[in-house]
Structure 1
């Protein structure tokens, strides 16, 4: 959108050129975290996941919007008002919730019974909205009801901001916005352009040099920036292109794409129907085929189907049952529907248990290791292998003598009459495999074998070998698959060949073909839940996992992956896409917003070869401009010196081509403290200075993400380093302490203002903790020399094994300084400063638990902050979304006696021990006698003990009333004891 001359006169070009951005001073991370979590939980309903959810690193769109607006908005002397205006623009302000409310009058009354009559009336049969209220007044009253509940709970009842039309979401805010910002905007795009003119003299140009799936440049263009997206990986380029040109297309072009994809699906469907491989003689159509691996048992000589379960469907009570065929030494597989619950329970256990094969003819409770069947071996030089035959280029199924055979054992059918009637959800059932089914199966195999060489020549079927690697070794090692098409059964090869043939001139068709194969390979595991049967996508995680049993969708079922085009959301800014390395950036850019690779990042250079193998030949324009190879040797990955050097090259190029008043925001998810130090040196070497660091919770924890996965993202804000500055470590230590204290006091002060005004904070403890990192990096990266060392050159120096660098030491010092301010409510700061790390960790996490369910990443962050290496003995639960400390009772006598968690002289340890003893009804006077004996200088420490006991009583009141009561009894006894 281009402004008219009149509109341009309303803003003063470059009037904000030297003004600090809001994101440098204040940012409501608690609300932004809650909104990003809500977007994540939409799963396949997110705006861009319809293009392919296999790119797991995609950041939420609302996070990009928050970054762009806060980077352009100025920070004024009235930060509180700045934040209020920002929240209005983000759709996070209190009054917005009346418009975002996603429910009817009955749901409203159930949620807000005290506000029911303000907006609704009871007809005697149901609740209806009051007809004497216009929509705006009703929305205002609904918003008032929401003010009474915490922000996170509000989001359970409302739509995401992007689900509303902008004029609905931001209705009535523009007068306040323009008055505060001195603009004349009536939309986000106009505001972005006007703020860009005021800051940079033009509509802001934003670049993402690691564009991945394109979520960052897409959202930046949607809110009005001109954008440049670039990536080395062709699949990343394809996804970025699709976000711009499919989701972000004009309404007219989007409608054309929907028609084109439906036509491609129809043409493939007709070809499949004509071949006659998905319909039975009665006109029923297959929906799902279930396959399993089959092996010959070395002890009995029987052929045994391998699967961890014979459960087919819990909701239907459908199971598979083995029927021995003694004449042929194999098993028939019978599908039974509507069996008893007891039979269902028995069927949950299959022939594969804990990596060992069990079957009725094997009279051995231990079973046979699959490693033995596979023939795993290790030789003296350390190499390993197995007896699997390596498949060849023309293989599409196992050969007769292969160790692993593949067997179709069940089919789910869709009722042909229901399909003819056009029913959206035709009746389905599971059935045993018949000779006619096997004949159709053989027809598919023979058809594919006849056409394979032709399809591979024309680029409709992959002919690319699997290159060994960290992730790509798995299918080679476990199945002997050496070409990418081996990961697909003949049916899937046929479907994909027909799709690519139909879409050979269509870049949109190619993009959706990639999504199709993600959901249609032999790596799609079949699972049964209580409510439904499901077949997962290949990349449900970031690995190439092979399974003993898997599900194959019929094309009649799978065609939806071609036809489900995401909803249209046109761009407001111009977009460009370039395939290149980040270090080759050469445009003059105002804002760089990047989510770079780092030490433990997903290895897209390997796993995207799964897609590249199918799409690399004869790509249509504009895909033909990219190199269709993963280019593993050029990808930035790993850790250590090579990672650091490549990143310095990349960010150095960005800094060189950034406006002098430009800004960079790096989205950085970390696990390793050493990687943090490397990132600091990367910014140093690139000529950047850190000015701020915010912590946002961006990831939803699932069973698949347990363990090493973290939940948060650091938003590191950077500017060009100006001038030359030298200093000495002993001086810089004091500067860091002063900067940490100033930063945290500013943030706490703003929290206090917000709390007084609206009863809520905008910063949480994680933000205050990360202020330590930010302050250290801000101070350190301002220097070019420390103790006479050129820090730019120092950044390039390889780290010696086990070396603790100057950056490590100063950063740790800053974080410990920040931790001094994380005093829980109920404790005095003087007491807090006397506690050791484990004591602080335990008391702080009690404070967090009192507020509600604590997340594992909070325990991880505070353990790291307080230098608590192993806190397992203090935990009763480490579940991702509800981790819990052990109570005094849980810690018990054994753990308390040793004092390994807190230290032998720990007052916290002894206070918890005393509470435990009172709770188990020991005499209170005996407990006091023990405390007097165990605590040196008891009289001086008596007040400290009393504070800790009173604190435990308060924090455990809601979650453990019995322990709170014991603490109160002990506290009274300490208070009234005669000394």
Structure 2
């Protein structure tokens, strides 16, 4: 407790009080902050442990969930929301402090944004005057931010809350919190104090937060950071190691930081000294290699020549470095020259490599030869569906291709650090050169070292001896290269470096930290590391293995030298945890060993990443003699036990997990389940799972968590649904579908109308609503599921039996029907601004979809998820037919002018509607057809023209305000006016 306060609390005073997150949650602001955290990429707090685990949920989202689950509501929802946002630093004062910490505004910008009558009081020739107080700066920042149009515009200028000094950022918040909750005796001056006091009020002690699918550790880490006790477990030992590292390295207390940093430096220094002693990375002039570039080489079946394979021969744009193939007829192969300072023309030519569109392509004596890579490999498919190829499968004791293998590996370039700049880490000068005979001799020396030591290294666990088990992801290196054991994925140079590092780490006093460092190092030291010329400021660099979740094999790859060692360090203690972390356990999710008041989980589901396969890449290296406390875990992926895929086994595993968590939480405990859904059918399975586990849904929120990247082109969704659940009240309750549907409609309407009322209140005071349409839609789902999951039997069938029984293909269950009913009820209430409820009720599903999304687009909404969700709610058969862009973060409808005549025929979903007829009419008007001619056509073609005329007018007025193209808005205004003023005698 705070040394100068005395808090009088009534333990368990909040025992039966709902959590604030059941009714209030600033979903839009959390979404923006979560995306901002994602966009920080390597600057995210936990990526320092390793970027290879992609499933970490944003820490800001975890913080919001934990706080929302502990805070109680009062009879003033707007004030509750204000306190919640202040604790998240989303309020105006928090934004001002975050912006000031980021130095968001220059003196000139401040004077541009706001009137300052005496600027000389604040600014000198070089910015702020020295005597300007912090209070004065904050006042100017508050005024400047108030001129910006939205929360997003303000927050985009700010540091993330976790990047700002916490004592300073939250100094003004605690009086506000204590006043708001004075009736409870709350008197907090920090997050740990607030968390402990709320825990005493709810549970009688500091709250415990658990996660049985801990993955990269973001949930237990953030819970512990704000003051909760944390429990974590995961079946996967790599996940457990990352979670342990989050709590004990990233979250290390101040007195441990120096020791951890020193331990890392000693490991790096010893490894570097050993590699230097071997003499395999320095040339005769004292230059040191930074990277080695290798390519595959294959024999052309037409000419018999050996051809180096690479999609591009550009090495470094900044240095104008390229590789040039020079025919050597005597050896029937190509010599490879490395040219620096190449002309623009030569650089452009080098962009086209010898691998093009899946073919080996090269020129010889003026003739172009093209052979599919599949032909080189000898790919085949048998009548029974079996596939294979002629690639030889490597043996356990091998580490390089045999001379007669289809694919050879060839060193073609070395990036050197100039001798005189080796010690100048920040200003090293490098150059590229083709390997000399001396370099090739050092290559042979490396191979000799591996040949002499591989068996011993494998026996000692310094190098893997583990076979690659076939699987969805792990089949790839077997199929594409013939690699059968994990050490085959590593070049001999990498084997020497990694074996040396592994040996040194074992002797390190902080061997657990060394294990984390080693796993991070593995991600950058395999033959799966692509050479990217554009990286490193145009000097070129190697991409890490798991830039996506696959084992990508490349035709050319980069091998880092030991000069990179320091880059694998982990910065300890950058965000100390305040709670008392419990042991991290490597167990199945159903094998819970600790009671927790709040379980927050991000479980696997139908389209999850196959971590049980891809982490075998790391397990193979760490499974023998892992350091304490990692030696307490089973170092195997235990694929058979992993909850994965879909279907009956998936549901059974999930039910067991959530039943166990429910049994290990008090009656007033709560669970939060996050999932990023690609298949809306997963909704039904998940609800059945929680139903069978004895849990009742009490709230649902939709958070945009992901960001766009080139890897995410296509149908990837960008959001996370968070479901809040409590134990179902005891007793038997039987429901029947015909009675459930009216109850669902009533509860959905009540929930959405309540939220829309709060939206109106907040908008009136602050100019921005709390929730978007997508949030309201999710709340509608939650309301329906709250009704549904209160029952133990549906139509006479026990819910557990229902949840676990196999599904027939195409079966529509009662859950599916009720979720759809909820979506339709919610959507019917979300009438776009400018349309009347009466008109909205008369529209078809596709018409509602287009007009609803058009309205959302005016607010800047561009998430493909929104379109997917509303298409489902409106029962649109194929929403893609009306989409102009399907990129995840740039989705939009087709513009009126983009619809082709074929899109608007009677045979299409939109063409058969009155809205489709309006689109045709607007296109005609834009092509100079007279308004009266168009009105006459509408009258003759529409049997219900007189009845539909008011509806047509209202839609045209709507389009005149909402259509993105100015010419369409004008045309809609003209046509709408003509229809409105039409006299029936005309």
TM band (smaller chain): over 0.9
How far the C-alpha of 1:380 sits from its partner, in A, is: 2.6
- Write out the 4+ residue segments of structure 1 that deviate beyond 4 Å after TM superposition: 6-9, 118-127, 362-366
* Shift in CA distance, 119/391, structure 1 to aligned 2, threshold 3 Å: farther
1:80 aligns with 2:73: no
CA distance in 2, matches of 1:607, 1:112: 54
Give the one of 835, 838, 841 matched to 2:843: 835
Give the one of 824, 828, 840 matched to 1:820: 828
Q: How does 1:192-591 map to 2 (within 5 A)?
A: 192-361=195-364, 367-420=370-423, 422-505=424-507, 506-529=511-534, 531-532=537-538, 533-556=540-563, 558-576=564-582, 577-591=584-598
CA distance in 2, matches of 1:527, 1:423: 21
How far the C-alpha of 1:840 sits from its partner, in A, is: 1.3
- Contact in 2 for aligned 1:597/1:636 (Cα 8 Å): yes
Q: Which residue does the alignment assign to 1:62? A: 60
* Shift in CA distance, 326/117, structure 1 to aligned 2, threshold 3 Å: farther
1:597 aligns with 2:604: yes
- Contact in 2 for aligned 1:105/1:120 (Cα 8 Å): no
How far the C-alpha of 1:850 sits from its partner, in A, is: 1.9
Q: Which residue does the alignment assign to 2:633? A: 626
Secondary structure, in 3 states, of the residue corresponding to 1:860? helix
1:763 aligns with 2:771: yes
1:181 aligns with 2:181: yes
Q: How does 1:748-827 map to 2 (within 5 A)?
A: 748-827=756-835
How far the C-alpha of 1:118 sits from its partner, in A, is: 7.1
How far the C-alpha of 1:365 sits from its partner, in A, is: 5.2
**1:389-421 deviation line (CA, Å, top 9, x unaligned):** 11111111111011010111111121211224x
| Cα root mean square deviation, aligned | 1.9
Name whichever of 635-644 and 411-420 sits farther off: 411-420
Secondary structure, in 3 states, of the residue corresponding to 1:359? strand
CA distance in 2, matches of 1:109, 1:230: 52
CA distance in 2, matches of 1:136, 1:935: 67
CA distance in 1, matches of 2:379, 2:419: 47
CA distance in 1, matches of 2:554, 2:500: 26
Q: Which residue does the alignment assign to 2:724? A: 717
Secondary structure, in 3 states, of the residue corresponding to 1:48? helix
**1:567-626 deviation line (CA, Å, top 9, x unaligned):** 522111111211111111142221101111101111110000000000000111111100
Q: Which residue does the alignment assign to 1:895? A: 903
Equivalent residues, number: 972
- Contact in 1 for aligned 2:718/2:889 (Cα 8 Å): no
- Contact in 2 for aligned 1:247/1:254 (Cα 8 Å): no
Name whichever of 869-878 and 467-476 sits farther off: 869-878
Q: Which residue does the alignment assign to 1:42? A: 40
* Shift in CA distance, 823/448, structure 1 to aligned 2, threshold 3 Å: same
- Contact in 1 for aligned 2:956/2:976 (Cα 8 Å): yes
**1:211-267 deviation line (CA, Å, top 9, x unaligned):** 111110010001000111011111011001111110111112121111100110010
Secondary structure, in 3 states, of the residue corresponding to 1:12? coil
Q: Which residue does the alignment assign to 1:169? A: 169
CA distance in 2, matches of 1:306, 1:160: 45
CA distance in 2, matches of 1:841, 1:529: 42
How far the C-alpha of 1:107 sits from its partner, in A, is: 3.5
Secondary structure, in 3 states, of the residue corresponding to 2:363? coil
CA distance in 2, matches of 1:486, 1:678: 40
* Shift in CA distance, 845/106, structure 1 to aligned 2, threshold 3 Å: closer
CA distance in 1, matches of 2:942, 2:55: 52
CA distance in 2, matches of 1:124, 1:214: 45
CA distance in 1, matches of 2:442, 2:117: 65
How far the C-alpha of 1:143 sits from its partner, in A, is: 2.2
CA distance in 1, matches of 2:773, 2:643: 33
Q: Which residue does the alignment assign to 2:155? A: 155
Q: How does 1:879-890 map to 2 (within 5 A)?
A: 879-890=887-898
- Contact in 2 for aligned 1:109/1:116 (Cα 8 Å): no
CA distance in 1, matches of 2:681, 2:30: 28
**1:705-764 deviation line (CA, Å, top 9, x unaligned):** 223421111110000000222222111111100000000001101111110111111111
How far the C-alpha of 1:8 sits from its partner, in A, is: 6.9
**1:477-502 deviation line (CA, Å, top 9, x unaligned):** 00000010110101111111111101
Unaligned runs of 5+ in 1: none
How far the C-alpha of 1:849 sits from its partner, in A, is: 2.0
Secondary structure, in 3 states, of the residue corresponding to 1:358? strand
Give the one of 831, 852, 869 matched to 1:844: 852
How far the C-alpha of 1:138 sits from its partner, in A, is: 1.3
How far the C-alpha of 1:449 sits from its partner, in A, is: 1.4
* TM-score where L is the length of structure 2: 0.96
Q: Which residue does the alignment assign to 2:983? A: 978
Q: How does 1:899-938 map to 2 (within 5 A)?
A: 900-904=908-912, 906-938=913-945
CA distance in 2, matches of 1:81, 1:329: 80
- Contact in 1 for aligned 2:394/2:482 (Cα 8 Å): yes
Name whichever of 54-63 and 379-388 sits farther off: 379-388
How far the C-alpha of 1:316 sits from its partner, in A, is: 2.8
* TM-score where L is the length of structure 1: 0.97
* Shift in CA distance, 663/877, structure 1 to aligned 2, threshold 3 Å: same
How far the C-alpha of 1:799 sits from its partner, in A, is: 1.5
Secondary structure, in 3 states, of the residue corresponding to 1:659? coil
How far the C-alpha of 1:878 sits from its partner, in A, is: 1.8
How far the C-alpha of 1:131 sits from its partner, in A, is: 4.9
CA distance in 1, matches of 2:764, 2:544: 49
Name whichever of 310-319 and 300-309 sits farther off: 310-319
Name whichever of 146-155 and 387-396 sits farther off: 146-155
Name whichever of 334-343 and 516-525 sits farther off: 334-343
- Contact in 2 for aligned 1:262/1:562 (Cα 8 Å): no
Unaligned runs of 5+ in 2: none
CA distance in 2, matches of 1:621, 1:260: 16
CA distance in 2, matches of 1:550, 1:108: 48
CA distance in 2, matches of 1:371, 1:111: 62
Secondary structure, in 3 states, of the residue corresponding to 1:848? helix
CA distance in 2, matches of 1:108, 1:631: 59
* Shift in CA distance, 541/108, structure 1 to aligned 2, threshold 3 Å: farther
CA distance in 2, matches of 1:9, 1:437: 72
